[in-house]
Chains A and B, each alone.
Chain A
Amino acid sequence: MAAKPDNEKYKLFTRRAGLISGGMLVLSSAIIGRMYFLQVVSQSQYKLLADRNRISLRLLAPQRGNILDRNGHELAINRTDYRVNIIPEQTEDVEKTLEALSLILPIQEWQKRRILSAVKKQRAFLPVTVAENLDWETFARLNVNMPDLPGVIPDMGITRYYPEKDTLAHIVGYVSSVNEQEIGEDPLLELPGFKIGKNGMERILDQRLRGKAGNSKVEVNVMGRAIRELSRNDSVPGDTLNLTIDRDIQNFTADFIRDESAAVVVMDVHTGDVLALVSTPSFDPNDFNLGISQKKYDALLHDARHPLTNKTIQGEYPPGSTIKMLIALGALEAGVINEDEKIFCNSKYHIGDTIKYCWKREGHGHVNMVEAIAGSCDVYFYEVARRLGIDRIHKIFDRFGLGNKFDINIPGEKSGLNPSKGWKMATRGVGWQGGDTLNVGIGQGDVLVTPLQLCVMTSRLVNGGKAVLPKILLSETNETEDKIEKMPYTSRHIDVVLKGMEAVINKPFGVAYAQRMRQNDMSFGGKTGSAQVRRISKTERDDGVRKNEEKPWRERDHALFVGYGPLENPRYAVSVIVEHGGGGSKKAAPIAKNVLEYMFSREMKIEPPIDASDNLGEG
C-alpha cells in the first residue's frame, strides 16, 4: 500500500472538507439570521397580515322594526317564508338547474337574469335566492325533488310582509333591494339581500326601523368559507312604530271607496291623530319586496287613476265650496257681515262687466249665513268674499292649515296653494283682480288644497278653534293635547258656522239632507263641494251646462266633502274627495257618512246601519 500519496490526498481532503464545512456553516447562519428577522423583528407585521387573512368581520342584519296600528294590529311585519336558494358551486350548470326547477315553480325571464347576474357577482358557495314566498305545496314538491336538483336548497327566511296588502300601501310604503346610488356609509346596505324602505314610512323612518347591525368575527379559510365564529355582537332590532291609524277604519274606508279614484282622511279633532288616510286605487306593497316585474310596474305607473300617488297628501285639488265656512267665519270676525244679514241670490252676481253665476240656476232668494252655508249659495259668498278681501281670506286660510305642510311622516307631502296678492305678482306678474277674490271665495280659481289640509281645517273648526296638527305616529303620552294653541276666534262665530254645517245635512234646505243619519244617537254635519276641473266657457253656459254624467270621466267635477261627528261634542273630522266624482252631496258625502256611521256603531257595539239613503241634492 502506498502510504505517502494517500497521506497527501488525505491532508488535501481534510483541508477542502473543512472549507466546505465552513461554507455550510455560513449558509446555515444566513438561514437562521433570516428566520430571526422574519419571526422576531417583523413578527408583529406578519401577525397582522396573517390575521387579516384569517379573520373576516361579517355583518349581522338587524331585524327590521314592525309597524303597528293604534291598537297593535300588524301593518308591516317580518314573516318567515319558504324560499328556494341555489348554491352555484354545488350545481354543474346553473342555467340548466334553473330550467329543471322551472318545471316545479315558474321562473320568469327577468327573474332568471337577476339570478344569473347574482351568481356571477358572488362567491360560488354563497346562496342566491331564486324565489321567495312559496306556498306550502310548492315548497313540499321542491323538497321531494331535492335529490334530482343538486345545489338547490329549500330554505326558510325572513321577508317583510304587509298583511293589509293594498289598504295601507300609501302610508306604510314598502322595502326593496338597495340600488347602487343608495350605498353609503352604512355597510349594512352592502349585505346581499338587504332591503331598505323605498316608499311611505318605510322610507322616511328607515333609520329608526332598520336597527343597528351586529357583527360576527369569523375565521375563514382561503376560500372565504367560515370555519368558526370567534366573537359576536348581536344586532339591535329596529324600533317598533305605533301609528295613529286605526286599521279597521282604514280598511272599512278603503273597501268602501275601492272602485273610485278617491281620498279620505279621518282625524281625531282634539289630538290630531290621523285615524284613516285612504287613497284609492292602491297597490300591493308585497309585490315590491322581491322586485316587481317591469310590466306590472308600468301598468301601475301609467294608470290614469295614479295608484302610486298618495292622493291624501299629494293630491292638490280646488276645494270648491268646502272652504265657505272659513269665508263666513273670517267675515264675522272682521265685522263685515253679521249672521242675520240676508243677501239676495238670483243666481247672478255682477262684478264690473262680467257676470258670475251661482250653481243653482233658479237662485236661492234671500239667504242669511246659515242658509247660505246650508244651500251653498255662491252669490252670498261672492258678496262676502268681496267685502272680506283677499288679504284676510289668505290669513284665515293659513290659520286653518290650507297651504301648509304638516311634516307628517309620509314622503311626498304637498303644500297646495293659498293664493295672495304677493303670490300672484311674483308668479304671474299681474296684480290681483276683484274677480280673483270672488273665485277664491267659492273655492275655485287659484286655491288648491290637499285632503289632509281639508281634514285639518275641519278639525280646527269643530274642536273650538284649536290649532291641532295631524299626527301619524302615536305619541306615548297625551300631554300635547292641552298644549295645542287656541286660535283667536270668537266661539259664538264658530258656532254660527257649525250651525251652517249642521244644516247642510240635517235641515230640509241643506244640500245633503238626504245623507242625514237616521239612526238614534248618530249625527254628523259637514259641507259639500264640487270642484270644476275645467272652466265652463260662455258658449257652454249659453247652451246649457252639461250634467256631469254626460261628460267624459276626466272632465267631470271632483266631488268633495268635509264633515264631522257627532254634532254634540264633535270628535272626528272627515275629508273626502272623489276625483271626477261629480257632485259632492251625491258622491262624497255618503262616504263620510258611512265611515262615521261605522265608527259610531263600533263604539256603540252595534251593527252599522245599512245605507238606505238616496242621492239627492247638489253641492
Chain B
Amino acid sequence: MLTSRLQGMRRSKSLFQKLYDLNLFIVAVVFIIAMIGFALLYSVSGGNVDPWAKKQVIRFVIGMAGMVFIALVDIRVWMFLAYPFYFLSLILLIFVSITGHTGMGATRWINLGFMNLQPSELMKIALILALARYYHCLDKEDVRRYKSLLKPVFLIAAPAILVLLQPDLGTSLLIVLGGVSILFCGGVRRWIFVVGFIAMIPTAFGAWNFMKPYQQNRVLTFLNPERDPLGAGYHSIQAKIAIGSGGLYGKGFIQGSQSQLNFLPEKHTDFIFTVLAEEFGLIGGMGLIGLYIILLAYAIIISMSVKSQFGRLLTLGMAVTFFLYMFINIAMNLGMLPVVGVPLPLVSYGGSAMLTLLIGIGFVLCAAIHRDTAISRGGAFA
C-alpha cells in the first residue's frame, strides 16, 4: 500500500526534476543573509571565529540540508504528517513545561546533546502546517461557520498559553500572529478579526498580571528607557546609541565601539542587528532589510501561484512568521518595541531559531516545487 502511494508520488515529478525546480534564487538570498550573520558573529567576538561564528556555520549547513530535504519531499506527505507533527510538538511543549532546561529564568529547552531544542520553535512550524491542512479541507461555506472556528482557536491557544507560561511573551506572540494570519487568508469573516483585536485589550491587561516582574519591567522600560538607564533601560539606550552613532555608512567592520567595547549587551543574539547598524550604518541595515523583503516578496508570489490551498496557506504562514521575526527583532533593536527574546532570522546566534526558519523556508520551496500538485479536499492521499 505504501509503495503504491510512493509510486503515485513519483509519477508526478522525478527527484531530478524536483532538484531542477528548486528555487535557487531563494537559496542564494538565504545564503547571503546567513553570510552576513557569520560576518557579524565574527565581528562581535573581536575578529574571531570562536566562540560563535564557527558553530553558526555548522548549524547553517545542517539546517540547509534539512531545508533541501523538506523541499524535495512530496507536499502531500507533509499534509499527511501535519497533525501528528502538531501533537508531537504540543507534547514536547508540555514536557518542557514540566521538566526542562532552565535558562535565563525561563524553562524552554530540551537538551538533545548536540543542541538545545526549543519545542516552541517547532510549534511555530507545526501550527502553520496544522492550520493550513485544516483550512485546506474546508470549503468556503464551512469556513464561514462559527462552529468551524473552534478547532483552529484551540490549535492556536493551546501552544500559545503553554509558551506564555514559560514565560516567553515574544514567542507566544509569534505563534498567535502566525496562526491568525492563516485564519485570515483562509477566509474567516473579517469582523471576527475586528472583534478579536478589540478583545485583545482586556487580554493584554490580563497578560500583565501573568508576567514575571522582569517582563513587566521590560514593558515599563520600553515605555520610558531613561527610567532606569543603568538597569532595565540599559539595553535599549545602549542599542540606540550604537545604532545612532553608526550613521549613514557605519564605523567599519569590527570597528563598532559600542559592540567591541561591550557597552552593548546580548550583541551576538537579540541585538545583532544593532551591531550591523553600528558597523555598516543605515546602508548596511537597509541592505539586510532589503534582502529580507526580497525573500518575503518571493515567498508571497509563490503562495499566489500554488494551486493547492494547503500549499498557499503554508507558504504564506511561513512568510508571515519570518516577517514577524524580522520586524519584532529590528523594532526592538530600534527601541520601537519592548525587549522580547526574538532573534533576527538567519543572523542571530542560536540553533533552534536557525533550524526553524530554514525548515520554514524548506516548506516554501516545497510548495514551489509542488505548485501544480493537486490535493483533494478530503485529505493528503484521498
Contact = CB atoms under 8 A, between A and B. Distances in A.
B316 A20 contact: yes
Contacts of A35: 243, 277, 282, 285-286, 334
B184 interface: yes
Contacts of B263: 50, 53-54, 221-222
Contacts of A10: 309, 312
A426 to B, nearest CB: 64
A28 B327 CA distance: 7
A34 interface: yes
Contacts of A54: 257-258, 261, 263
A579 B304 CA distance: 113
Contact of B243 (A28, A30, A46, A220): A46
Contacts of A9: 139-140, 187, 309
Contact of A34 (B186, B247, B312, B334): B334
A53 B258 contact: yes
B305 to A, nearest CB: 10
Contacts of B244: 38-39, 42-43, 45-47, 49-50
Chain B at the A interface: mostly helix, strand, loop or mixed?
A: helix
A5 B245 contact: no
Interface string B308-339: 01001100100010010001001100101000
Nearest to B246: A39
A534 to B, nearest CB: 69
Given A6-B309, A222-B261, A32 B245 contact: no
Given A13-B312, A39-B282, A5 B334 contact: no
Interface in A44-75: 45-47, 49-51, 53-54
Contact of A20 (B140, B185, B187, B246): B185
B73 to A, nearest CB: 23
Interface string A3-26: 001101110111011011100100
Contact of A38 (B186, B240, B316, B377): B240
B181 interface: yes
B334 A38 contact: yes
Given A32-B289, A39-B247, A53-B241, A21 B139 contact: no
A362 to B, nearest CB: 91
A172 B258 CA distance: 50
Nearest to B234: A222
A354 to B, nearest CB: 83
Given A1-B374, A46-B244, A220-B261, A24 B187 contact: no
B257 A40 contact: no
B89 to A, nearest CB: 24
A17 B303 contact: yes
B281 interface: yes
How large, as a class, is the contact surface on chain A? 35 or more
Which secondary structure characterizes the binding site on chain A? helix
A49 B246 CA distance: 12
A34 B330 CA distance: 10
A38 to B, nearest CB: 4
Contacts of B241: 46, 49-50, 53
A509 interface: no
Contacts of A219: 257, 261
A50 B327 contact: no
Q: How large is the interface on B (under 10, 10 to 19, 20 to 34, 35 or more residues)?
A: 35 or more
Interface string B98-139: 000000000000000000000000000000000000000001
B245 A221 contact: no
B224 interface: no
B245 A49 contact: yes
A47 B238 CA distance: 12
A27 interface: yes
A31 B140 contact: no
Contact of B262 (A1, A49, A222): A222
A227 interface: yes
Contacts of B285: 35, 39
B368 interface: no
Given A31-B327, A35-B286, A39-B248, 13 more contacts: A9-B139, A9-B187, A20-B316, A30-B331, A34-B331, A35-B243, A39-B246, A43-B244, A43-B246, A45-B244, A49-B241, A54-B257, A54-B258
22 contacts: A1-B374, A13-B185, A13-B309, A17-B185, A17-B300, A20-B184, A21-B297, A34-B334, A35-B277, A35-B282, A38-B243, A39-B248, A39-B277, A39-B285, A40-B282, A45-B244, A46-B244, A47-B245, A47-B247, A49-B241, A53-B241, A53-B261
Interface of B: 139-140, 181, 184-187, 238, 240-248, 257-258, 261-263, 277, 281-282, 285-286, 289, 293, 296-297, 300, 303-304, 309, 312-313, 316, 320, 323, 327, 330-331, 334, 336, 374, 376-377
Smallest CB-CB A-B distances: 4 pairs: A46-B244, A50-B245, A221-B261, A222-B262
